Amino acid sequence: MYELCQVGTNSYYIESPAKIGLVRLQGDDVCLIDSGNDKDAGRKIRQILDANHWHLTAIYNTHSNADHIGGNRYLQGQTGCKIYAPGMECDFTNHPALEGAFLYGGFAPRDLRHKFLLAQDSTAEPLTPQTLPAGMRAIPLPGHFFDMTGFRTADDVVYLADCLSSAETLEKYQIGFIYDVAAYLKTLKTVETMAAAMFVPSHAAATEEIAPLARLNVDKVLEIAEKIVSLCREPMGFEELLRKLFDAYGLSMDFAQYVLVGSTVRSYLAWLRDTDRVEPVFDAGRLLWRTVG
């Protein structure tokens, strides 16, 4: 863990729970793509920088989930580097408490105020084309989170953030976190057609061929949608639907899984409602969901 792996002339990643990109710039200058899940990750990154006599100029965050911005504060404090994040991700990076509030739908209880969902705050600036190093291009990858963004480097390495999961992760967790199902499917279909010298997903092995994994992720999303439609043939409330999904996929319920999977199921319901496959009905003061037709 935390080994430095070279995937291009100047492009690397650091093996970690969420892969961290590293790109060499001019001279001894480097930038990072994400920063790991906490202060300890930041320290390990700093050790790699020091061992190679590299100077960190900037961190480019793909999105604001805690496992991607957790090392920001430590590294910024140690090096004075700039931090850039796209769109609404910049606001969440500057104010990490927003993530727990968004997931829970109110002030998050202490069960959700831990490093997995609550990073330390850091000072981020909006990502713009002008803030990128020469030869690097941002790639919009919305769906998993609000304005998630990937990056293509000058040596044609594409860092894909969390827009897809490995086959092993899909098998273990089944229902991966999605904010906007329609945008996520569009992103996956875009990624499926991409070509690059190397792709580096955050939670899957680096590969030269991304299409099969993108298709596997599309298929899983459509499978879950069909499961929800099938379950809602009998009108039911959200909590009962969530319980049946946990049972169907053999998942274990805890507070973190409740908010992550629960938020995702609400996103599926919104998409299925917008595509006229399920509809809301109100019965005796309860919101129920039922299949259309």
Which two tokens mark 286?
A: 């309860």
Confidence of residue 22 (pLDDT cuts 50, 70, 90): very high
CA distance 114 to 92: 16
**pLDDT tens digits for range 244-264:** 999 999 999 999 999 999 999
Over residues 25-48, mean pLDDT: 98
Confidence of residue 151 (pLDDT cuts 50, 70, 90): very high
Mean pLDDT of the chain: 98
Confidence check: pLDDT of 283 > 90:
yes
Annotated domain spans of the chain: 4-162, 231-291
Is pTM beyond 0.95? Reply is: yes
Over residues 11-29, mean pLDDT: 98
Q: Would you state the pLDDT for residue 287?
A: 98
Which CATH number is 4-162's, of 3.40.718.10, 3.60.15.10, 3.40.50.880, 3.30.465.10?
3.60.15.10
Q: Would you state the pLDDT for residue 224?
A: 98
Query: Is there a contact between 161 and 179 (Cβ–Cβ < 8 Å)?
Result: no
Confidence check: pLDDT of 293 > 90:
no
Query: Is there a contact between 85 and 76 (Cβ–Cβ < 8 Å)?
Result: no
Under DSSP, the state recorded for 264 is: H
Nearest in space to 199 (alpha carbons), one of 1, 16, 2, 19: 19
DSSP string, 113-146: -STTT-PPP---EE--GGGSPTT-EEEE-TTSST
**pLDDT tens digits for range 232-241:** 999 999 999 9
Q: Would you state the pLDDT for residue 213?
A: 98
**pLDDT tens digits for range 163-219:** 999 999 999 999 999 999 999 999 999 999 999 999 999 999 999 999 999 999 999
**pLDDT tens digits for range 74-105:** 999 999 999 999 999 999 999 999 999 999 99
Confidence of residue 119 (pLDDT cuts 50, 70, 90): very high
The architecture that CATH gives domain 231-291 is Orthogonal Bundle (1.10)
From residue 101, how far is each of 86, 87, 142, 255 by CA, in Å? 20, 18, 20, 14
- At residue 240, φ and ψ (nearest 5 deg) are -70, -40
Rg (CA), the chain: 20
